[in-house]
Structure 1
Amino acid sequence: MPDRLTDRLRRRVRTPRQKLVTGLLGTVLVVGLGGYGIARLTTPEDRSCAAGVERPEGSSECVGVNGDGHAFGIPELAEVAGAIGSENATLKPGEYATVALLLPLTSPDGGMRTKVLHEVQGAYAYQYRANHESNSQTPKIRLVLANTGRGNAHWKATAQQLSSMTGAPDRLRVVSGVATSSTEMREAVTALTGAGIAVVGTTITADDIANGPGAGKNRYPGLARVSPTNSDEAKALAHFGRVDAAKALLVQDTRSGDHYTDTLKSAFAASLKGAPYEPQLFTSPPDPTDEGTTANTFRQITHLICDTRAETVFFAGRHTQLRQFINALGSRGCTDRAFTILTGDEGSYLGADKKLDRDALRTKLTVRYASLAHPDAWKPAPGRPVPATGGSVVAYSTFETDIARASKKPVALADGQAIVAYDAMATAVHAIRQATPRDAQYPELSDVVTQWPQVKGSLRVQGASGWICLDNYGNPYNKAVPIVELAPDGSQRFVQIAWPEKNPPSTSCLPPKRG
């Protein structure tokens, strides 16, 4: 025992040399770890995602501009983003102009994610045609994806980045996409056109994100659109439905600042002059893709609708609230009465909405909406001839060939998003090439924005969604409006084409003079 105790004490008592070595080691460890900690504190955090893309402070989203195949963390976009990156990699410096597709690529909303995917697929389909199937016309087209984030919250940083890309090597000449009629997108359009960049909106339909006649109405110099305005959609619906205002009712969102909803309810109200009932009101959440509590309001509104003599209900609101309203009306007390809901192009989201109660569509309830495009609109069918003007079977057939390249699986076309994005890209490329002098490789930025007044007549764009004949303010004249019905099985059934001017455009497709 004494020997063991002596050994233990000997081990615990360190010699001066041992103490010196131990102290030096401790100092090295402290200094080393301290240096590492200081470096961590003083070195900026790497928030990059890919070339031109990074996570903004306080956000996990990848925001910015990229054309190298980056999918912004969205698995569904990986295939088409990779195809865009591969196509861009074949282009040589100096031989191309760039088109940016501005979208909320990282939106968490399921309907928006589907819309974004289809728009990217449609844009890529025309990029490929422009570079490989256009008789070697120049310049070639580079396509980049520009993410504005959830709810377009990061539009400003992305717009500023795009504005810095007009010189070499990018030579950005057009921004397309701009797919929602929101305040953020209006500000983005203002910033981009203010920087002298031409913009082609895909699915913006708000009347106040557009140019027009009168003082102060050219607020977005260089803006063009391939979709009809809400007013034109409402006029087309009215011509199609021949609605009796005495038996019609308007249900509308009171939340202001949403340019789609604001202009749609104004357009519907104009179509319902003389209606005996005041509008039924609801208020959507600040982010209209949130469920909120509006379902409770709709349950009450359905009771009031049953108290009226209405047969047609015009709905001015976004798709989430539209779905809630349909679900509520399917459970109404007066299921013995038939109702038709008429609404704008937000109805196109409902085909893929898993929260829609499809049994509601079996309760004498018909839901029809003004679509921006539909795959059956320009296909001949028994008893449904294709209009002689306003579009063509050949243009749509060409689109079908091109869109097949965008995905190994068939691209869903019923919501019309891929078709419209393809047409917007076609319009952008048309302007870029028309503005390019014969002895130049690419156009000047300032020359592209002046092209829109000439896109008409024989210089119109033969769009897959119909002829794109722009007036002097960049708005499509008498654009085909497919009326689509939502079927109980979730399919989106084409009914017929309606026209804002009641009849198809003439062969010349020249807009009339307006005040």
Structure 2
Amino acid sequence: MASGGGGAGVRSPLVRWLREVWEIRLYRYLALLVTAALVTGLVFAVRAFTQEDRSCAPGVARPQGSDECVGVATTAYDFGRPQLRDAVRAIDRENDRLKAGSYVTVALMLPYTATTPSTLSDILHEVQGAYLAQWQANHTSNGQAPAIRLVLANPGATSDHWELLVDQLERMTKGADRLRAVAGVGMSTDSNKKAVAELTRRGIPVVGASITADDLANGQNGRDPFPGLARVSPTNTDEARALASFAKVSAGRALLVYDKPGDPYTRTLQASFAALIKGSPYEPQPFTPPADRTREGTTANTFRQITHLVCDTSPETDTILFAGRHTQLRQFINALGTRGCQDRKFTLLTGDEGSYLTGDKKLDRTALTHNLSVRYTALAHPDAWTKDTTNLGGSAADARVLTDLLARSTRAPVGPIGETGLEDGQLIIGYDALRLAVHGIREATPDGGTVPPLADVGLQWPQVKGSLRVSGASGWICLDVHGNPYDKAVPIVELHADGGSRFVRIAWPEGKPPGQECLPPS
């Protein structure tokens, strides 16, 4: 018994020592774990408080390094542009009405975060036109399938974020959105050209509304770099041909002023104008604007110098051809208004960028009272089809379908859609572009089906001619095998000193309207 008690007493210090050692280590491990947990929690807490929320709306966010909200808006999100609010809400109401599984999606790609008033006005009108085409397709087509859901796709004010947008649009072709076409696109810029190239490379059909650059079209030199692209506007070459047939431009009496280095729109317009006045005794005069051509820069100084050269030409010279964007066009017109040779008459001819000046408050309209006329090729104009004088190439009846619908858009169930305007042509061309997209989608839909295969939509464009043409509000849309409109009506419009513009007459790339069959020649 005694020996047993003595043994326990011997082992007790060792046990106590071991227990103390393990307790110390355990406390240390627990302290380390608690510290790690606190540090981790602190890191997450700091991140939660310091990391900026870059979302703007469902499908829309600000990319790293940018304050623009970029992406595809699938709700009533107006990209912070109050003037778009009514139209965006009308689209959202129409989208909400659609039954799941009954629709496909068309994305209207435009620079919704643009800041210049003239650009935003054009965007608003194009959105309104596209919505009216959506409403018409869903309500007045005798139940044709599929229904059309419209969403707004923003690549940024200058389309700098087109790659992010293209990735998002491609994902929408594979999910419940069932995206089947992209319409709109905006200006003929290098970024938009890259976006269209990538969209069509991925098999997504594109319907260009106001793109006119020749190098943003298929069929140049027999090549089709944008498979699945269709356009409702003529190329710059066709616009220049129509302008020449109207104005009878003489090489010996014309001076060319052009954007250097230019962009797809200005470069191809320059080339088209240069071909018209080949052999001119005058060297073309360049100007170099900011990379963002909506900005003023110092180009006005260059234009003041060019006006001296204009006055130095022979007295027979009476035509100036201008290949540039609307901001620079406005600067040049303002400079011509103060030129030295006020007694000489000049007519300035340019492309469809002239339409942006109809509401430009920075334009000095008194310049138009100083022996200066400014005429441009519009993509559409409300006065182009007021009378059925020919019924070839377009008609007043086709135009009235839109104007009647527009009259209903001030109230439910169609509207309200905000303040509308037809003079700049954008509402008309936006309406026609979406109608062409709807035509392709429904022609590609199998009998009894509701969703066309994505690859089949772009295959419909070569058949849009003859009795299968789209009778647009801007004129007949008859496409050649490359997706370009054949002999499309080109309204010639003149800026008016009292404000706005005045329709002059329709001109045609072929010198006359297409025949009743509207079939492009081989």
Q: Give the structure 2 partner of residue 109 of structure 1.
A: 116
Q: Give the structure 1 partner of residue 161 of structure 2.
A: 154
CA contact (8 A) 1:68 1:86 kept: no
**CA separation in 2, counterparts of 1:68 and 1:252?**
42
Q: Give the structure 1 partner of residue 226 of structure 2.
A: 220
Note if 1:340 corresponds to 2:347: yes
State the AA in 2 paired with 1:402.
L
CA contact (8 A) 2:494 2:504 kept: yes
Q: Give the structure 2 partner of residue 368 of structure 1.
A: 375
Q: Give the structure 1 partner of residue 304 of structure 2.
A: 299
Note if 1:120 corresponds to 2:111: no
**CA separation in 2, counterparts of 1:223 and 1:507?**
25
Residue 69 (structure 1) aligned to one of 73, 76, 88: 76
Note if 1:270 corresponds to 2:275: yes
Deviations 1:427-453 (A, max 9, x none): 000000000011211100011010000
CA contact (8 A) 2:208 2:231 kept: yes
State the AA in 1 paired with 2:210.
T
Offset of residue 98 of structure 1: 0.6
Offset of residue 276 of structure 1: 1.2
Secondary structure of residue in 2 paired with 1:320: helix
Secondary structure of residue in 2 paired with 1:151: coil
| Structure 1 unmatched ranges of 5 or more | 1-30
Q: Give the structure 1 partner of residue 450 of structure 2.
A: 441
Deviations 1:312-360 (A, max 9, x none): 0000000000000000000011100110000000000001111100100
Distance 1:409 1:88, change over 3 A: closer
Secondary structure of residue in 2 paired with 1:368: strand
CA contact (8 A) 2:90 2:417 kept: no
Note if 1:259 corresponds to 2:259: no
Note if 1:354 corresponds to 2:357: no
Q: Give the structure 2 partner of residue 200 of structure 1.
A: 207
Deviations 1:151-180 (A, max 9, x none): 111111111100111123111001001111
Note if 1:238 corresponds to 2:241: no
State the AA in 1 paired with 2:228.
G
Larger radius of gyration: 2
State the AA in 2 paired with 1:196.
G
Secondary structure of residue in 2 paired with 1:162: helix
CA contact (8 A) 1:221 1:449 kept: yes
Q: Give the structure 2 partner of residue 95 of structure 1.
A: 102
Note if 1:39 corresponds to 2:36: no
CA contact (8 A) 1:126 1:402 kept: no
CA contact (8 A) 2:86 2:418 kept: no
**CA separation in 1, counterparts of 2:389 and 2:71?**
42
Q: Give the structure 2 partner of residue 420 of structure 1.
A: 429
**CA separation in 1, counterparts of 2:392 and 2:328?**
36
Offset of residue 373 of structure 1: 0.1
CA contact (8 A) 1:373 1:416 kept: yes
State the AA in 1 paired with 2:207.
V
Offset of residue 213 of structure 1: 5.7
State the AA in 1 paired with 2:158.
G
**CA separation in 2, counterparts of 1:208 and 1:409?**
35
**CA separation in 2, counterparts of 1:320 and 1:465?**
25
Correspondences of 1:344-493 after superposition (within 5 Å): 344-380=351-387, 386-404=389-407, 405=409, 407=416, 410-493=419-502
Offset of residue 280 of structure 1: 1.2
Q: Give the structure 1 partner of residue 185 of structure 2.
A: 178
CA contact (8 A) 1:68 1:89 kept: no
Secondary structure of residue in 2 paired with 1:472: coil
**CA separation in 1, counterparts of 2:467 and 2:105?**
26
Deviations 1:474-501 (A, max 9, x none): 0000000000000002211100000000
The TM-score normalised by the length of structure 2 is 0.89
Offset of residue 304 of structure 1: 0.7
Offset of residue 120 of structure 1: 0.5
Secondary structure of residue in 2 paired with 1:236: helix
Correspondences of 1:51-62 after superposition (within 5 Å): 51-62=58-69
Secondary structure of residue in 1 paired with 2:214: coil
Q: Give the structure 2 partner of residue 145 of structure 1.
A: 152
Correspondences of 1:159-170 after superposition (within 5 Å): 159-170=166-177
After the TM superposition, which of the residue ranges 107-116 and 262-271 deviates more from structure 2? 107-116
State the AA in 1 paired with 2:239.
E
**CA separation in 2, counterparts of 1:363 and 1:94?**
61
Secondary structure of residue in 2 paired with 1:421: helix
| Structure 2 unmatched ranges of 5 or more | 1-36, 410-414
> CA RMSD of the aligned region, Å?
1.6
Q: Give the structure 1 partner of residue 25 of structure 2.
A: none
Distance 1:355 1:219, change over 3 A: same
Q: Give the structure 1 partner of residue 511 of structure 2.
A: 502
Distance 1:192 1:353, change over 3 A: same
CA contact (8 A) 2:368 2:497 kept: yes
Secondary structure of residue in 1 paired with 2:193: helix
Secondary structure of residue in 2 paired with 1:497: strand
Q: Give the structure 2 partner of residue 11 of structure 1.
A: none
State the AA in 2 paired with 1:291.
E
Secondary structure of residue in 1 paired with 2:506: strand
CA contact (8 A) 1:121 1:403 kept: no
Offset of residue 137 of structure 1: 0.7
**CA separation in 1, counterparts of 2:501 and 2:274?**
26
**CA separation in 1, counterparts of 2:469 and 2:246?**
26
Offset of residue 243 of structure 1: 1.6
CA contact (8 A) 2:214 2:220 kept: no
Secondary structure of residue in 2 paired with 1:281: strand
Q: Give the structure 1 partner of residue 291 of structure 2.
A: 286
**CA separation in 2, counterparts of 1:137 and 1:304?**
60
**CA separation in 2, counterparts of 1:104 and 1:463?**
24
CA contact (8 A) 1:103 1:146 kept: yes
